[in-house]
A and B are shown apart, each in its own frame.
Chain A
């Protein structure tokens, strides 16, 4: 059945996951309801058992809290020394991630997964350290309390009244390979607490009063058990999905979470994450930025963006939508992405006057605009975190500023209306009242255009009032003599309000459109500028100029050189030394393919933001940015824009790289062609005249009528031309072998035949030496190129003849070993220079530096090239005869079968098919 068939994309995704998982380390979390249940103890127990089984266990960081049982269990485990990190004049011990990565144990124990690292560490959170350990293939055991889970943070805070700052994203918890629930009933835990086994001394009392109340403990235990049960169910589903995965791979998203500007947004996001996790669906979180919200002070906008980031961390697809109104933007997003549930914080009821003016609550608007959407309103709990006095003061100042700004805008609107009245006053003699109305309407449009929606409303009302007061009989009074003016007022007010609203909306939309257009124009310009760049330098220059403008700060590119090292662009020199990006962070971003630095998970405190330049084939470098405001790297749209820039630059760098590769290849091909034509020209043009010299010299030597010394001379001529000819052959062969132009003509043949042919060819040169051949009968056939192997043997025999005195013994022997055949040419001459045996095989190397013995030292190099092409080896050693020995080892392989000869008479055999 078609619906039962697994989706191929889903299967692929599963395979990909499995591939990634295979290389990753495994994470096991010991999960408990509260401190003191024995998580660390259980972890240590399991680790000891593995250690006894021979696993390389290392304690990265283990906190015993001075509990004696745990400390006893901890003893004897190899420990990683903690790193001392300087922080505000103190040194704090911290987990040493780099040392752990360098040590690469089989299993590492990292206690307290939700721990926050000291500011200035590589990652702000310990779980990010663990993530890096896992990515490097190291298995990790860790511990976690239920109240540290991000999505349960609010719930636990509500139950116990104690809020923890150190939280762990649920996505990370859910990705753990195993979760082991460590459970202790509340009574037993309390008993242990009172026995002083949990905390020591006065700490115990305080902890008991605040946290360890039976009701609390039972509630926490229930939460922990339920969360574990959820996980177990997920595991069961995942296991079932191996049989039929259709139901598990739900890719359609279902929940849309609206992020509001209030501090309560955080808890709404957490609830949405929790619901999405329970329903096993993906979810979206959007922040709709209306003109009013855009005018919020920077600090508040940044806080909202942090909530957007939190949603992202909790696994949501996030977006910031610029729009005039909330409801239509939310509905449009929900419909575009096929989201059926909309989740939002419960808003306070609108003030009566607004409702009276026709304003409706968001929920009502949504319900009317999109009846098909399920609306879920969540209790908006305010975070109870105590703010530091400094921030409270800052907030107050910001609120004041906001008020001032607001008052200024409305004041300006009023002033505009007053100015219109002032200008119109002397004109009323000359102009009709309807024209005066037009002037007021013009003022409203102007206010709407410059100051926005609210001031436009004020201006509308003021205009009507002023017109009534100054221009309608009786003047300087709000009384109206003619009733028809009421219609004028009504129309004037309506027109003012409507045009004001439309103008203000138009203005905002124009602004949004202009922003968008600006972004796409910047992209377009970058793309077209990069398209013309043919050199890396040009790409760097264009990209850096564009990005510096884009973030209104500094931009610097790192590119990978041939040694795979990051090289900063030349612009680095123009930056002040204190303000330069950090190469180490850039490298981290490159290696992990993730953004690093400013407002990311890795070194968020640094001033620079690092993005890897991903390209289709590989990552080509790193982009470092120092933006004017954090907004440009925090806002999802701008971040996406930056990532697009990075991709375009990466592709441009890759294109330039391949242009260079193609040019190199072209040069190489040209060189190859030149070499080949040179070789064939050489081989013809050198050999023909040599053949002539050789032949003529021999003819000359054979002439009887020549005097005696002329015979000698012509004989010398013949010998020398023969040597030159041999040398030319060697040079050409070496060139051919090296250019790869030689294709082996491999055939199965007995080694005796090759040896025989070589001896036959070398007969004249070996005449002055004693030659012994020791080849046992019954050697297997070898797969050889006979011509080349004969060449090897000839070269070795020639060397033996050349470098030993006349009358020396030369032994050519063969020996069969398992898997290989050894051929050796040994002599009893002066032997080889000690320690230089290997050098002899290099090109243009000879045993003696300057000697009368002819040759350029190519022979052995050719031998090695040929033997290695056959998959064999050749080396020199001290021979049994005391002189030099050259040994060739050739692989045996599997010779073809040889059918026995049918015992037939020759005549009969003739008739064989």
Chain B
């Protein structure tokens, strides 16, 4: 495998100062950065620059960022991190359901952004290597999951999970680092007819934490994205 050329990032954001420090941060990590100020320009750049990552502001002057996301997802699977000035959780959920990988609420720190960028990049790279044999062993904290043998161990001791708990865990593992909305998880684990039974998801998530987290009340890996969904942080 040849050495990767500089990865390319596209920032779609109308506020020049934000573009500026995001660009500074990304360039510090070795990214080549392109900027777009509008949805239209952003779509053109996404087609021509072939970016490895898109950072998208939802409040753009010419159109809603959500529409950009829908258009982009029609032909590209590039990781997208959404920036939102709005406090409304509904916007974030809509963005994630429309295919965004992660979101950040303003104001955000560069460190926070870069951490999310790394996770997104890792995920897209592992997806690109889909042809290779899948990872059979997944670890987070003191927990080890053997995806082939369907075995879960915590600190070396076996942990018994119910089938639904196990399915929930494997789905989180498959999307490690990514925020999964309640609907996405419910659909994947319980099926499309249970998409509104949020409390089931919450109860099973609580059970998983009880079984896998050191301090279930203050989880370190199975994180809550309040009112949006969950994320597994390895």
Contact = CB atoms under 8 A, between A and B. Distances in A.
Contacts of A684: 59, 85
Contact of A749 (B85, B202, B216): B202
A750 interface: yes
B217 A756 contact: yes
Interface stretch (A60-68, A223-231, A234-242, A696-704): A696-704
Interface stretch (B34-42, B72-80, B134-142, B222-230): B222-230
Contact of B224 (A747, A756, A904): A756
A725 B122 CA distance: 32
A909 B164 contact: yes
Q: Give the most central of B25, B162, B218: most A CB within 10 Å.
A: B218
A702 B110 contact: yes
A901 B18 contact: no
A756 B205 CA distance: 12
Contacts of A754: 226
Contact of A747 (B85, B106, B198, B206): B198
B48 interface: no
Contacts of B191: 912-913
B129 interface: no
Given A688-B85, A760-B218, A909-B163, A698 B110 contact: yes
B203 interface: yes
B110 A695 contact: yes
A691 B199 CA distance: 34
A699 B24 contact: yes
Given A684-B59, A787-B227, A913-B193, A695 B107 contact: yes
B87 interface: yes
A699 B87 contact: no
A749 B226 CA distance: 11
Given A749-B202, A906-B166, A777 B210 contact: yes
Given A695-B110, A912-B191, A913-B191, A687 B85 contact: yes
Interface string A728-748: 010000000000000001011
Contact of A895 (B87, B199, B210): B199
Contacts of B205: 753
Nearest to A758: B226
Contacts of A786: 226-227
A721 B17 CA distance: 15
Binding site secondary structure of chain A: helix
A694 interface: yes
Interface in A742-785: 745, 747-750, 752-757, 759-760, 773, 775, 777, 781, 785
Given A687-B107, A702-B28, A745 B89 contact: yes
Nearest to B112: A698
A808 interface: no
Contacts of A909: 163-164, 167
Interface in B172-199: 190-191, 193, 198-199
A173 to B, nearest CB: 69
- Chain B interface size, as a band, is 35 or more
Contacts of B167: 906, 909
Nearest to A702: B110
A688 B18 contact: yes
Nearest to A905: B163
A759 to B, nearest CB: 4
A896 interface: yes
B132 interface: no
A898 interface: yes
A748 B224 contact: no
A723 B28 CA distance: 27
B206 A753 contact: yes
Given A747-B198, A750-B203, A695 B109 contact: yes
B15 interface: yes
Contact of B108 (A695, A696, A895, A906): A695
B128 interface: no
Interface string A475-488: 00000000000000
B121 interface: no
A122 B109 CA distance: 81
B203 A688 contact: no
B224 A695 contact: no
A781 B198 CA distance: 12
B96 to A, nearest CB: 16
Nearest to B59: A684
B85 A683 contact: yes
A773 B217 contact: yes
A756 B110 contact: no
Contact of B87 (A683, A750, A896): A683
Contacts of A760: 218-219, 223-224
Contacts of B25: 695, 699, 702
A745 B202 CA distance: 16
Q: Give the most central of A749, A773, A896, A909: most B CB within 10 Å.
A: A749
B188 to A, nearest CB: 10
Contacts of A777: 210
A901 B217 contact: no
A903 B227 contact: no
A699 B227 contact: no
A775 B217 contact: yes
A687 B88 CA distance: 14
Nearest to A787: B227
Contact of A688 (B15, B21, B110, B200): B15
Contacts of A721: 107
B107 A749 contact: no
Nearest to B57: A688
B218 A773 contact: yes
Given A695-B25, A898-B203, 16 more contacts: A688-B106, A689-B17, A691-B85, A692-B21, A694-B109, A702-B25, A718-B109, A747-B198, A747-B199, A748-B198, A748-B199, A752-B209, A753-B224, A760-B223, A896-B199, A901-B164
Rank and list the top 8 A-B pairs by shortest CB-CB distance, nearest first. Answer: A691-B107, A691-B106, A692-B17, A694-B107, A695-B21, A748-B199, A757-B224, A773-B217
20 contacts: A683-B85, A688-B85, A688-B106, A692-B107, A694-B107, A694-B109, A695-B17, A698-B109, A721-B107, A745-B227, A747-B199, A748-B202, A750-B202, A750-B206, A756-B218, A756-B219, A756-B224, A759-B218, A896-B199, A903-B162
Interface of A: 683-684, 687-696, 698-699, 702, 718, 721-722, 725, 729, 745, 747-750, 752-757, 759-760, 773, 775, 777, 781, 785-787, 790, 895-896, 898, 901, 903-906, 909, 912-913
